[in-house]
């Protein structure tokens, strides 16, 4: 249908072009000889180090074959907050950008900047294609890409939750099975005790903590009925008793119990899990790329411990169209094409979870790694999710949160005092949202 729609659009464009030329006094014979199809090249901006550029470009060649529209990809290696800031600078500098991937962390700021183009007209004109996505994705994911007036800016593409990853060889050595999905704080600490060992002066730890990971850290908090801030992003709650309890637990896991190593800036926690130095770590689906590259199969996943509740976190991304695009309609068609199952099934093989629930089940079951991987998608169409805290000031919030975490885990700073200070800094910034 998309191909048919573009063909019709191009026919109309060519007709209008011919009419304009005739009105300026050009003869019909001249039109027949010289009128050619407009050559369109779209720029698609991606967040990342470019490791997927080759495969992405190859997939996008199909779009060019179908539509005649070329696509150039540009990767920016940055956090989501910095990525949005760089896009703002590029747009302000007059660079030609047409479409871009954007995750929840940058959506609020991006919409506040006013440089995104709604896609409601594309949805209405391509209802079958749109419904193929909307009927198979979580309504909570869809809401992330709407503004206060209900305008839609993207279709859900991929997402992640946060679960606990286990080195199953370490579990076996400790005589442990994978815990049940509602395992408690007490059970978690019992696992930590059993999985912390020392032999010939070599210590193996139970768990690595989410150092430097805003998304994964808040996943721990929400399982204790805590969060970085309230739902309308007007006030920090990082120093609530429930939040303090989790930060204190993390500090204690290192210094009181000895169950976790002191985080190191340039040490890969995922590598530590694979080599057995730690037995557990909390991430989304992205470590599967590391597992496959290292031929590591001794891994299983389970929900995070239910400190007070069993609550999942989510982050989601989609393809946005930029208002300054010189080819708005073509950019919308590209975004819609990328969001369809055919493209997503080949691009979202590992790392992210496809937002299309049927595709997520298909791809994750097909991969067969890690064990119990169905927890990545089995609640995908429920409301048992909480969005990661993503205010317009996400970059500033992330810096404050992760600085506080570093002080607590590295410098053994007083937890309550550190979080009180972080809350004060956050509130100064969040007051702009009131």
This prediction's pTM: 0.88
Is there a single domain that holds both residue 213 and residue 282?
A: yes
Residues 6 and 137 in one domain: yes
Is the CA virtual torsion 344, 349, 351, 355 positive or negative?
positive
Q: In this structure, is residue 65 part of a structural domain?
A: yes
386 and 339 in one domain?
no
Does some domain include residue 358? yes
**Do 267 and 120 share a structural domain?**
no
pLDDT at 349: 87
Assign 308 to helix, strand or coil.
Answer: coil
Which residues of the chain carry a pLDDT beneath 70?
A: 1-38, 380-383
Gap between the Cα atoms of 47 and 42, Å rounded = 17
pLDDT digits (tens, 9 = 90+) for 218-234: 999 999 999 999 999 99
> Is residue 372 one of the residues assigned to a domain?
no
Please tell me whether residues 337 and 409 are part of one structural domain: no
Q: What is the structure's pLDDT at 378? A: 84
Same domain, 68 and 145: yes
374 in any annotated domain: no
Domain-embedded: residue 186: yes
In this structure, the answer to whether residues 218 and 285 fall within a common structural domain is yes
Query: What phi and psi values does residue 381 have, to the nearest 5 degrees?
Result: -105, 15
Instruction: Tell me the residue range of the domain where 132 lies.
Output: 2-25+40-160+315-367
User: Would you state the pLDDT for residue 380?
Assistant: 64
Same domain, 83 and 171: no
**DSSP string of 231-284, one letter each residue:** TTSSSB-TTSHHHHHHHHHHHHHHHTS--SPPP-TT--HHHHHHTTSEEEEEE-
332: in domain: yes
Give dist(CA 339, CA 425) in Å, integer: 38
Q: Cis before residue 325, ω within 30 degrees of 0?
A: no
Summarised one tens digit per residue, pLDDT across range 319-344 is 999 999 999 999 999 999 999 999 99
**Is 246 a domain residue?**
yes
CATH of the domain at 343: 3.40.190.10
Residues 389 and 283 in one domain: yes
Are 182 and 281 within one domain?
yes
pLDDT computed for residue 84 by the predictor:
87
Q: Quick one: 325 and 284 in the same domain?
A: no
Strands (E), 122-212: 156-160, 163-167, 197-199, 202-208
User: For residue 373, is it within any domain?
Assistant: no
Q: Are residues 151 and 184 in the same domain?
A: no
Q: How far apart are CA 134 and CA 44, in angstroms?
A: 23
Count of structural domains within the chain: 2
- Kindly report each contact of residues 244-250 with a partner whose C-beta sits within 8 Å and lies 24 or more positions away, as own/partner: 244/415, 244/416, 244/419, 245/307, 246/220, 246/221, 246/307, 247/404, 247/405, 247/408, 247/415, 247/418, 247/419, 248/415, 249/185, 250/209, 250/220, 250/405, 250/408, 250/409
């Amino acid at each position: 249908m998309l191909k048919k729609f573009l063909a019709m659009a191009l026919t109309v464009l060519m007709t209008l072009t011919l009419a304009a030329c005739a009105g300026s006094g050009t003869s019909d014979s001249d039109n027949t000889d010289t009128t050619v199809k407009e050559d369109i090249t779209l720029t698609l901006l991606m967040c990342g180090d470019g490791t997927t550029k080759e495969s992405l470009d190859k997939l996008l060649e199909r779009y060019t074959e179908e539509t005649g529209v070329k696509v150039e990809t540009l990767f920016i290696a940055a956090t989501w907050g910095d990525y949005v800031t760089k896009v703002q600078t590029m747009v302000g500098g007059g660079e030609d950008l047409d479409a871009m991937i954007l995750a929840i962390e940058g959506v609020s700021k991006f919409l506040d900047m006013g440089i995104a183009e709604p896609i409601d007209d594309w949805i209405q004109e391509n209802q079958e294609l749109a419904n193929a996505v909307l009927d198979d994705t979580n309504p909570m994911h869809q809401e992330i890409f709407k503004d206060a007036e209900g305008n839609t800016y993207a279709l859900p593409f991929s997402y992640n939750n946060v679960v606990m990853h286990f080195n199953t060889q370490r579990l076996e050595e400790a005589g442990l099975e994978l815990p049940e999905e509602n395992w408690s704080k007490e059970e978690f600490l019992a696992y930590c005790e059993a999985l912390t060992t020392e032999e010939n002066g070599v210590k193996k730890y139970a768990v690595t903590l989410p150092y430097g990971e805003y998304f994964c850290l808040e996943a721990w908090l929400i399982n204790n009925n805590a969060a970085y801030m309230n739902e309308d992003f007007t006030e920090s709650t990082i120093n609530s008793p429930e939040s303090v309890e989790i930060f204190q637990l993390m500090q204690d896991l290192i210094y009181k119990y000895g169950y976790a190593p002191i985080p190191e800036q340039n040490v890969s926690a995922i590598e530590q899990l694979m080599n057995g130095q730690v037995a557990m770590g909390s991430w989304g689906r992205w470590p599967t790329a590391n597992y496959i590259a290292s031929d590591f199969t001794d891994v299983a996943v389970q929900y995070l411990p239910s400190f007070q509740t069993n609550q999942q976190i989510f982050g989601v991304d989609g393809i946005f169209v930029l208002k300054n695009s010189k080819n708005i309609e073509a950019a919308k068609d590209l975004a819609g094409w990328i969001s369809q199952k055919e493209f997503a099934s080949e691009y979202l093989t590992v790392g992210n979870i496809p937002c299309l629930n049927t595709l997520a089940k298909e791809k994750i079951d097909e991969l067969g790694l890690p064990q119990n991987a169905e927890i990545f998608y089995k609640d995908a169409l429920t409301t048992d999710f909480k969005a990661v805290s993503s205010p317009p000031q996400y970059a500033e919030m992330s810096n404050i949160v992760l600085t506080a975490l570093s002080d607590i885990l590295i410098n053994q700073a007083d937890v309550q005092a550190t979080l009180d200070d972080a809350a004060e800094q956050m509130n100064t910034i969040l007051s702009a949202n009131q």
